[in-house]
Structure 1
Amino acid sequence: MARTDVRFRAAFNQTLDQLAGLAPGDALPSELKLADSLKVSRTVVRAVLKRLAEGGVIRLEGRNKSLLRPAQTQDHLPEREDYISLRELEGRFLDWVLRFDVPADTSLNVTQLAKQFLVPPHLLQEFLASLGQFGLVERRPRGGWRLLGFTADYAVELSDFRTLLEVNAARTVSTLPKTHPVWAAIDALDREHVQLLDRIETDFRDFSPLDEKFHVTINAVVKNRFVTDFQKVISLIFHYHYQWDKQFERDRNKAAIGEHRRIIAAMRSGDADAAQAAVQAHLATSKETLIASLRVNHLDQDWHQGPLGQVRATEAP
């Protein structure tokens, strides 16, 4: 990519970021002010404004320039040919959390991580903001982001809501005709589970992406945008590196493979009640593991083990 094109793309995206503070109808700064703030020539600024007008973001009428509509993610230009997509970013972020020791309360350097993940900073900012609505990260008062831990309350509420969604999805799959495309995907998933089981002694960490794929495939039969967003949170929570007791990770993943295959068998039988029971059993195990991991990591100060399971300390007899 030519140096002049790189400069143009960077200036274009920076201009979009500056426009975020304007409302439709507001006037844009002068070409001189834009050139000064972007550290580029007025020739580059004119090219940027022309491109924005062609995209319907701004209106140009002589020297008058006004905003027509708010800028959207897709308006930004890739500043490098090797930039990855948002979907790939989600995967790389999860893998970074899984494969490396990233504890709670870690400060996130957007500039550094953007280079590491090969994404433009604005895309990483938007991704972190989407995680922020679920309490996984937070914006620091003086700028930047911080990776958060989470409490037993958060874990239990998340687990219970997950069960509601996934039981509904599994029951739905059980009622679908065998000609539905989901069955081919489930058959392929079953084969992948068997293959991973054969090499579980060495490749047990490969279960995390397979687990995500399994749950996403089943949940996808329920056409609901909130389920899709929630599945991202599931991935980042239930496979979150520092929650798990690594000593038992292999055995835990091996057991989960068996639970997944029992869910598959129940759905194949067309018995919605059996599918529901299998899902509930699997997610109950997941919930127990999550709570146990919080104890290991000293994140459950207000919980204790009672005769009926996990209860609040304030509810203890």
Structure 2
Amino acid sequence: MSRSQILRQNTINQFITCINNQIITFPLPSLSILADTFNISRTTVRAVLSYLIERGVLIYQQQQYFLIRQPTEQDKINGVLEKRERQDQQIEHYFYALINSRQLLPGDKFNEIEIARDARVTPLVVREFLLRFLHYGLIENISKGEWQLVIFGRDYAEKLYEFRSVLEIFALQSLMKQLDNKMIWTKAKELLQHHEKLAQNISHDYKQFSTLDRDFHRLILSANDNPFFVQSFELISVIFHFHYQWDERDLKERNSIAVSEHIAVLKAILQRQEALAIKALCKHLNTAKCSMRRALGRIDDKAIQA
């Protein structure tokens, strides 16, 4: 199957999802607007609309497209979209990259169709991904398909810190009981090597810390083999790791400190010194809390000045 055929069929499936989620309104906007929205050519738009007319989903009257009936899963074209698991990974990677690169800032609004288009996943995948964060107050749904990234208050950060401390300390205790597990031991050694390499080049590679930070905390939380721990990690990562990085004035120094604190924890783990590992982790978590406080304070100051 050619690339153009795959694009056309993927767009048909995305279009149907958008209709069912009431993201698309009728009569439809112009072909140019639809082409821009889905990042496709007007030729592809015409092909999608022709298919939906043939299926009896749309009708073309008085130079406008109207909805006749709600499309079903049977109207979609099977076998052309990426597997769901891969799409979930794509949207997670893309969304975090937006935040980490400061393309998405506290208070910014964004559209789920545009996110789906740019991440090359379906709008349904984007919506389900965002709904996980909606529950924790990380984002707000301001209208159909429109979202806003929340600016967190200090009280929220303090409560989250308490939750994070209990979670990660408990998980670290579980990890220390599994050091005979070759996979955990190997991952810890690899992470230590990566951290030490970054520490040597921190002056110009400090922004690479984001990936190591996620791997470090994921290792600790995944050792407990508790799905709720992993889900909570997503919440913690967005707030503590990404939120304070929006203010880059001392990011290099903060990341340098964090790398050294990670190294201390990893060395204690590999030396099988549980008390030392927990002490080092507590120090690191407290440093993260202080960084969050300062960042939130600066955001509040900017809001007052505005």
TM class by smaller structure: 0.7 to 0.9
Structure 1: gaps spanning 5 or more residues: 22-30, 53-75, 302-317
After TM superposition, list the pairs within 5 Å mapping 1:1-317 onto structure 2: 1=1, 10-12=11-13, 35-37=56-58, 49=74, 78-79=80-81, 85-141=87-143, 143-241=145-243, 244-298=246-300
* 1:121/1:17 CA distance change after superposition, 3 Å: closer
* 1:11/1:48 CA distance change after superposition, 3 Å: farther
State the TM-score, normalizing by the size of structure 1.
0.72
* 1:8/1:261 CA distance change after superposition, 3 Å: closer
Deviations 1:77-127 (A, max 9, x none): 65479x963123212211111112432221112222222222222211211
Q: Is the 8 A contact 2:102 2:246 kept in 1?
A: no
* 1:180/1:5 CA distance change after superposition, 3 Å: closer
Tell me, in whole angstroms, the C-alpha distance in 2 between the residues paired with 1:143 and 1:17: 9
RMSD of aligned residue pairs (Cα, Å) = 3.5
Q: CA deviation at 1:50?
A: 8.6
Q: Is the 8 A contact 1:99 1:241 kept in 2?
A: no
Q: Partner of 1:176: helix, strand, or coil?
A: coil
Q: Partner of 2:249: helix, strand, or coil?
A: helix
Deviations 1:6-60 (A, max 9, x none): 5555555655677789xxxxxxxxx9996234989xxxx99963989xxxxxxxx
Identity of aligned residues (%): 25
Q: Is the 8 A contact 1:155 1:290 kept in 2?
A: yes
The AA in structure 2 aligned to 1:92 is Y
Structure 2: gaps spanning 5 or more residues: 23-51
* 1:270/1:10 CA distance change after superposition, 3 Å: same
State the TM-score, normalizing by the size of structure 2.
0.74
Deviations 1:163-219 (A, max 9, x none): 111111212222224343201000000000011111111010100111110110121
Runs of 4+ aligned residues of structure 1 deviating over 6 Å after TM superposition are: 16-21, 31-34, 45-48
Deviations 1:261-304 (A, max 9, x none): 11112222323222221111110111011011111111799xxx
Q: Is the 8 A contact 1:102 1:241 kept in 2?
A: no
Q: Is the 8 A contact 1:131 1:137 kept in 2?
A: yes
Tell me, in whole angstroms, the C-alpha distance in 1 between the residues paired with 2:166 and 2:129: 26
The AA in structure 2 aligned to 1:132 is L
Tell me, in whole angstroms, the C-alpha distance in 2 between the residues paired with 1:274 and 1:242: 27
Bigger helix share: 2
